[in-house]
Structure 1
């Protein structure tokens, strides 16, 4: 991927932010640019977005910017918005698929921290087996949705056919909202940790 292509993609994103009149503060705008660069270059497959507003407005604005941007820049085509409960993520479909596949095929020593203890405390080896098994279940679930050649078409996504951005009806194929909230409700792993 050429630097000029990445710079052009960022110009497109910034233009689309202006088109939808999303009032991002300069620091939040820089974070959005950095996150998109990290996704497009393969530095990160998934990024939790915790700037630029609150749900559901943040979700709508991200989807609108992404949809408009994808019309003008092919580099941005693999990017999607994903929601799990009140957490929102930007992700690169192939990047996340490859990451999940790699993590499932590799022996990795998992170390867990109990976030509810103050100060934070490592979870004992005996207790880790349950948490590790839950994490593997989440990874396997993700591997059925995020495929190296795109999204699993049999999974029901939330197309945004009823939303209008900049006077145009959104297209469900160009920027599907991946809403996994109902799929992850019974999970025992803290989902925001997927960001790490």
Structure 2
């Protein structure tokens, strides 16, 4: 359903990294279905990624097949950015997407080809070479786009808050003073009777209320829900249903 899943933010490193590598190594020894799962690190954040799915996602983003709405939160009020919107943040964001494309799309299967300029591939204690960690920390430090913006895109959110490092305080202030809509995507497992089926949150994200007055009927929200439902059809053996819920949030302090 998602090519990238964040495991922890600000967790205890490198212990967590080593534990995840060991776990993944055990899984890969049990079944080849886990071959394309990798551990990726960006500073103090750690993720599980599916290399092939991430390569396809990055390509579809660059080709505009997967719609991503960028919101400029450097200005007050925040503003949705058109595709031809000119800003240093937008240019940096496109550059990051192209770097991910060059990294993952050349050959997402072989770990030794997941190394490129500015990246490191490390192995955790007790792991085999097949579960090397893809560490993009030094690579990301070279860009002016903030990690929250990169995270929003990698984690598959249809709306991404875009701002550069020098405007972090502006972004926090501009979002903390605005009412937001909270979008939540829930899934239920397949094979469980409807009465006993329990919904699990797949993801959640916010959008300024003034930019999402139609809630789930916003054009980008409808497109996103259709994409998620199409993905659901490819894994019906695991997930049985999917739904979107939208609720309002009053202005509150936000940490980016």
Q: Which residue of 2 aligns with 1:185?
A: 141
| Ranges in structure 1 where 5+ consecutive residues have no aligned partner | 1-42, 165-169
Q: What CA distance in whole angstroms lies between the structure 1 residues aligned with 2:6 and 2:98? A: 20
1:86 equivalent to 2:82? Answer no
Asked if structure 1 preserves the Cα contact closer than 8 Å seen for 2:104 and 2:114, the reply is no
Q: What CA distance in whole angstroms lies between the structure 2 residues aligned with 1:90 and 1:45? A: 8
Per-residue deviation, 1:190: 2.2
Alignment TM-score, normalising by the size of structure 1:
0.62
Larger radius of gyration: 2
Structure ranking higher on relative contact order (CA contacts 8 Å, 6+ apart): 1
Alignment length, in residue pairs?
144
Match of 1:131 among 84, 89, 109: 89
Match of 2:132 among 176, 180, 191: 176
Q: C-alpha offsets along residues 95-143 of structure 1, whole Å, 9 cap, x if unaligned?
A: 00000001111274632253x89xx952475986322211111111011
SS at match of 2:128: coil
1:59 equivalent to 2:14? Answer no
Q: What CA distance in whole angstroms lies between the structure 2 residues aligned with 1:63 and 1:52? A: 17
Asked if structure 2 preserves the Cα contact closer than 8 Å seen for 1:112 and 1:128, the reply is no
SS at match of 1:112: strand
Root-mean-square deviation (CA, aligned residues, Å) is 2.9
Greater alpha carbon shift after TM alignment, 74-83 vs 139-148: 139-148
Q: Which residue of 1 aligns with 2:71?
A: 112
Bigger share in strand = 2
Q: Which residue of 1 aligns with 2:54?
A: 96
Bigger share in helix = 1
Asked if structure 2 preserves the Cα contact closer than 8 Å seen for 1:157 and 1:176, the reply is no
Q: C-alpha offsets along residues 9-67 of structure 1, whole Å, 9 cap, x if unaligned?
A: xxxxxxxxxxxxxxxxxxxxxxxxxxxxxxxxxx1011111279522221111111001
Asked if structure 1 preserves the Cα contact closer than 8 Å seen for 2:58 and 2:100, the reply is yes
1:158 equivalent to 2:121? Answer yes
| Ranges in structure 2 where 5+ consecutive residues have no aligned partner | 158-256
Asked if structure 2 preserves the Cα contact closer than 8 Å seen for 1:97 and 1:146, the reply is yes
